[in-house]
Amino acid sequence: MVLPSEVTKASGLKVALKELGIRPEEVIGIGDAENDQAFLRLCGFSVAVANALPAVKATADSVMDHPSGTGVTELLRRWLAGDLSAVREGAVQ
């Protein structure tokens, strides 16, 4: 992927949130690699899938038990069931 250096997942999220009128603290982000780190720091609740890089897991608010898409499904099921016990005050609930 070739993009200008100032174009990242985080910069795209900032633009989208401004247009939608949503605060970053109200966002759940999920990722697995280096290019997700700035994006995840911006989110109110950050999640790493099981096969994420160690650095991503170390800074995430929660780490799923399953990898890749299955980890995303796990996150969605937990969220819909109200089982995100690690959610910080003021973040998405």
Phi, psi of 16 (to 5 degrees): -60, -45
Q: Is the dihedral of CA 75, 81, 84, 85 positive or negative?
A: negative
pLDDT of amino acid 85 = 63
Q: Is the pLDDT of residue 78 over 80?
A: yes
Output 74-78 pairs: Cβ under 8 A, ≥24 positions apart: 75/28, 75/30, 75/47
The domain spanning residue 70 has which CATH number? Answer: 3.40.50.1000
Predicted confidence (pLDDT) per residue in 52-72, tens digit = 999 999 999 999 999 999 999
Instruction: State what percent of residues in the chain have pLDDT above 90.
Output: 70
CA distance 28 to 43: 6
CA distance 71 to 78: 10
> Has residue 1 been placed in a domain?
no
State mean pLDDT over 64-89: 81
Q: How many domains does the chain have?
A: 1
Instruction: State what percent of residues in the chain have pLDDT above 70.
Output: 89
